[in-house]
Amino acid sequence: MKIAVVGATGLVGTKMIEILLERNFPVSELIPVASEKSVGKEILYNGRTYQVVSMQDCISMRPAIALFSAGRNASIEWAPKFVEAGITVIDNSSAWRMDPTKKLVVPEINADVLTKEDKIIANPNCSTIQMVLPLSPLHNAYRIKRIVVSTYQSVSGTGAKAVQQLMNERQGINGEMAYAYPIDLNVIPQIDSFLENGSTKEEMKMINETRKILRDESIKVSATTIRVPVKGGHSESVNIEFANDFDLNEVKKLIADMPGVILQDDVSKQIYPMPIYAEGKDDVFVGRIRRDDSQPNTLNMWIVADNLRKGAATNAIQIAEYLLKYKLA
């Protein structure tokens, strides 16, 4: 199977190529795609060297699936052209997520919505993916009424330039700035641009995408997204109000039994999720689970995941695996 990775030289694209090999995805030919300035560069995959090609050249090579991670504008311009050539696109940008004609998929939750007719499939925002994964079984059991979430997002979510800014600041080097402010020894309460309602685009993504993935427009979501001086791995403090009461042991069992989720919740031994241990892993880690006694039927938890893997590349490849398994692409 020919597989294209669009944005192959970026952080997520590089991770996609790495994970395709890790998961033994049946790639007969890898087609790395990037901007014109990267065309001709060589990428090593599974012992073979592939040259980076342009968008148009990729289309002419007719891959079965194209994994897009080249940004919103590139996706809007090029994904339809890939589809016209019969190529299935799995897109990691925000371009198609809230399009009512496109599916927004976390495979463990809602891959069942996919059909052969779905030629552009949206990969959710990294922060949304890690939050909805453990919340999905709880919503089925107790019905979520409201979520209040604060995120603590690593600089790798911005890209290589932001990682370099953090590393430069750690070493006292003056360099290019990805943010308007220093990030080392600092916390920046802004991810993406601000909207008229005072929220950022990132916060609105979490609100809207959560409802779409969990298939319940009645869920109220309040999100505050924050950038922290961590290289990789996003963390979230999540407060969930349910329509029905719950048993804490049952809650923990539901979370532990959810595919792709690992329960790390033993405060007597100081066991809880942290990004330093989540980085490089595909699972979502959940801990600090406790009842919120300030109001009925409400729960607190702490969720951590590698934003480049399950938050982006791994989830996209899991979608591709589902398409392959059920012969949908």
Closest by Cα among 304, 317, 310, 245 to 275: 304
Pairing of strands 103-104, 120-122: parallel
The tokens for 277 are: 């241990």
Task: Determine whether 234 is an active site residue.
Answer: yes
Catalytic residue from among 34, 126, 238, 329: 126
Catalytic residue from among 211, 212, 234, 309: 234
What are the helix (H) ranges across 85-221? 107-110, 126-142, 160-170, 201-214
8-state DSSP, 278:
H
Residue-wise DSSP of 204-256: HHHHHHHHHHHT-TT-EEEEEEEE-S-SS-EEEEEEEEESS---HHHHHHHHH
Q: Residue written as tokens 């940008």?
A: 93
The tokens for 181 are: 């402010």
Active site residues: 126, 234
